[in-house]
Chains A and B, each alone.
Chain A
Amino acid sequence: MTAQTLPTSVLPTRPAVPLKTPVFLTVIAVIVLVCFGLLGSSAAANFRLSTAGDAFVLPTLVFPGKASNLVIGVLLVLAAGYSWYRRKQGLVTQRWIVIVFAALFVLSFLIWVVSGANVTTISLAALLAGAVVLAVPLVFGSLSGVLCERSGVVNIAIEGQLLAGAFTAAIVASMTGNPFVGLVAAGLAGALVSLVLAVFSIKYLVNQIIVGVVLNVLVSGITGFLFTTVMQRDPDLFNSPGRLPIIEIPGLSSIPVIGPILFKQSVVGYLMYLAVFLVWFGLYKTRWGLRVRAVGEHPKAADTLGIKVNVMRFWNVTLGGIVAGIGGSFFTLVAIDSFTKEISGGRGFIALAAVIFGRWNPIGAFMAALLFGFADNLQVTLTIIGTPVPSQFMAMMPYLVTIFAVAGLVGRSRGPAAVGEPYTKE
């Protein structure tokens, strides 16, 4: 009863590798080639690498607008073609190609926009340094997200934690006259928001997303109310926290480009680097981290090994709150020295995107946050030099980057398997 030979109708091969990447790369490549290259300005774009206080001076980078973009455009078209070829072979495009592609696109965009602006020179050093500063709350927020989600609890309330931190830092620092006390208080405020999240989602098994959303609205309402009823009555007493000092490390801080980024930061800035390292080391190198990751991946397995799943989650969420709260203090103790309504401005949600973009890894989240910070700062810089693109469009950029990032253009990111699922024993 073996198979007889039959006329075999073979269907055209149907796609297994998604079209997403090759199509997207092609569209971008064409935009670069046509809009940035052919239609771009032929003026040169100048990128300064050194600032006034530097120990030595690096040369300014000069790119002839049209020519550079034509070259980059051709490279991108080739890369897009390669991506189609890979797909035809039934393979996905390698991750590093997409990353290089993205970097080239950013460069080409910068060249195009700067060469067409009223002022054709920008300071790359200042652009990067500013990006890091703007990324600080995003980094703290995303670390909070990593801590919570690695243990299996979705933390949508990052925005609320940042806002609570910002408000508490302002009011406590104003009343005590000491911004460092405000910094500590910000951490506690973040923890308080987290406690609500932890109690409702872990103890009472309320849907974690819903609790998170409600918390954001709640914190926004409370801080808004207290801002108008308390702070605005007596701003001198309640809303003049003073700033945390910027600490320069002598010598090192005057290295061009990296000096200001690494060695000319506020306490919060240095804490950020420390926090990224500690969370990374903790998660991947310690007993605690192994258990946290186990609880987020397969809580039942962890439970059968005697690990207290919900206790672990509870403390992780609380710790996440402290981290985000400290991040929130950046708004009122570093960026500006007063609180206003909704000062966090949706950055908690961008931080959430950074968690996903960074694949739930503290270093990845840090990088993603830097990227978002860069997009944010680029918008500010470009508005100043007067580009042909309306500033409103520039302001949308961080969010566009976020959408593309979350849509998974840089490969599918796989989160902790048990995230969002409450753990109960039968």
Chain B
Amino acid sequence: MKLELRGISKAFGSFYANKGIDLVVEDRQIHCLLGENGAGKSTLMNVLYGLYQPTEGEILVDDKPVEFSGPGDAMAAGIGMVHQHFMLIPVFTVAENVALGAEATKGAGVLDLEVTRRRIREISDRYGFHVDPDALVEDLPVGVQQRVEIIKALVREAKVLILDEPTAVLTPQETDELLEIMRQLKANGTSIVFISHKLREVKAVSDVITVIRRGEVVGSVEPSTDTTELANLMVGRAVQLSLQKAAAVPGEATFQVRDLSVIDESGTTTLDSVSFDIHQGEILAVAGVQGNGQTELTEAILGTQMVTGGSVKLQGKELTGRSVKSVLRSGVGFVPEDRSVHGLIPEFSIEENMILDLYDRPPFAKGLSMKLGEVKRNAAKQIQDFDVRTDNPLNPASSLSGGNQQKVVMARELSRPLKLFIASQPTRGVDVGSIEFLHRRIVAERDAGTPVMIVSTELDEVMELADRIAVLYKGKINGIVPAGTPREVLGLMMAGVSAEEAMEQHHTEGEDQ
């Protein structure tokens, strides 16, 4: 099936998320949409899937114009979509999720899930998905949930499959498996629109790459195009893909975590006897697939998560069992993983957000009164230093783009003398330009002699920043390895293989080639 978008524009108020986009997806083609976060890729796909109505332009299926008033119409036309955030109902079984909206019935509206189960097994066998139709979705690993999403589309006989940032939540191995599945789907006659900002994957699997920047198509290129050129096209200026940082000069190990454990409300051990040290002037990156205890680890250190055992020591002083305020006061800078929920108060002004954890002490407070002049001065200085793009520090933080919001959080946390700096997902949803900037700031903090802990699910980021890499798997540290460990080894470790075995496997594979 051939799919064509002609002059699609989508405006939200006066802001154009998409502007005059032309795109042709040929039959049996893997067409990649490359663009930064916020470039308008997802908006475009939501238009294509009938979730948004285009402000201008038309959609053609096999050269015939069509109009989608909702996802139902798009599905009927043979378009399926796997959303970035899965559209699965956690408390439903796989079969129920797949059936939903296209239920087989025994007549009179009584469900016939057996028909759906059979279809799931069929597709699952054909592509080697290994999906149990009766498993509860919330119990499945994300990689399998993604396959359920693909099954959902295939059951509805999708001829064009849209995959929106499908690799964001996968381990490198799972990513490779997904790329293989995409090739199989293509061989079986399905066209794929693959949305991503990860150059490596895009180059590996695409037939055509269309680059989108600020809502407009800036070029269509062959997958053989050089990586740097692709990156430049995507960002719109020359970017340095690698951070040129000096080697670490580690000092004393002033931050020590010993046997830290967390058991959550349901009795699951989410953090299992985690121990590590961080030296002054060193960055320890904690790698791992999302949901392997990263959140619990950072929150346990900060004190927002109850620990069941173990100790956390900063310069010899115990941090567990203390209030969050007291932990912050002892010199811990903390950038939470979800800035809009835990890092900022979106309704507060930028000025106020700059002092969220400093408001009650000098120079911002004196007795019961706040020194508003000082607050203003501080904001002006931080906005300057961190290049926060805003025309007024009194604007609410929610008016800023993701990258600028993150700069505000980072500016606040780095604005006081630190003895430990923790940043969780420091560049999630941040544009490439800001990533570079934020990374430099983190390295600068390291060079000032602060122990730094970075938690990231982006392997690229981990490899970029780390002086040492700790891999978390199912709440345990699955080995601490030096920077420069090959990506494949880290990938295996993220999937639970021990460091030694991963190294060995890597070496044998190297010899085979």
Contact = CB atoms under 8 A, between A and B. Distances in A.
Given A8-B258, A304-B49, A13 B92 contact: no
Nearest to B467: A1
B83 A16 contact: no
B263 A16 contact: yes
Contact of A9 (B264, B318, B468): B318
B100 A305 contact: yes
Interface stretch (B178-186, B207-215, B304-312): B304-312
Nearest to B53: A425
A301 B91 CA distance: 13
Contacts of A294: 89, 92, 100
B103 A4 contact: no
A17 B313 CA distance: 26
Contacts of A290: 96, 99-100, 103, 111
A297 B306 contact: no
B46 to A, nearest CB: 9
A302 B253 CA distance: 51
B161 to A, nearest CB: 14
Contacts of A1: 250, 277, 279, 468, 480, 482
B75 interface: yes
A304 B309 contact: no
**Among B101, B279, B321, residue most surrounded by chain A Cβ atoms (within 10 Å):** B101
B256 A13 contact: no
Interface in A1-29: 1-4, 6, 8-11, 13-17
Given A6-B258, A285-B111, A307 B277 contact: no
Interface in A305-335: 305-308
A234 interface: no
Given A2-B480, A297-B92, A301-B88, A9 B71 contact: no
Given A10-B309, A302-B101, A304-B87, A287 B264 contact: no
A15 B354 CA distance: 36
A297 B100 CA distance: 13
Contacts of B310: 10-11
Contact of B263 (A4, A10, A90, A305): A90
A4 to B, nearest CB: 7
Interface in B66-110: 70-73, 75, 81, 83, 87-92, 96, 99-103, 105, 109-110
Given A16-B308, A304-B87, A11 B263 contact: no
B201 interface: no
B330 interface: no
Interface in A81-130: 90-92
Nearest to B99: A290
B103 A287 contact: yes
B276 A305 contact: no
Contact of B72 (A3, A4, A8, A306): A306
Contacts of A404: none
Contact of A298 (B89, B265, B480): B89
Nearest to B477: A3
Nearest to A92: B267
Interface in A270-308: 285-291, 293-294, 297-298, 300-308
Interface of B: 12, 49, 51-52, 70-73, 75, 81, 83, 87-92, 96, 99-103, 105, 109-111, 152, 250, 253, 256, 258-259, 263-265, 267, 275-277, 279, 306-311, 313, 318, 320-321, 468, 480, 482
25 contacts: A1-B468, A3-B277, A4-B253, A8-B258, A9-B311, A10-B310, A10-B311, A16-B265, A90-B267, A285-B110, A286-B110, A287-B103, A293-B92, A297-B89, A297-B90, A300-B87, A302-B101, A303-B70, A304-B83, A304-B87, A305-B71, A305-B102, A305-B152, A306-B101, A307-B100
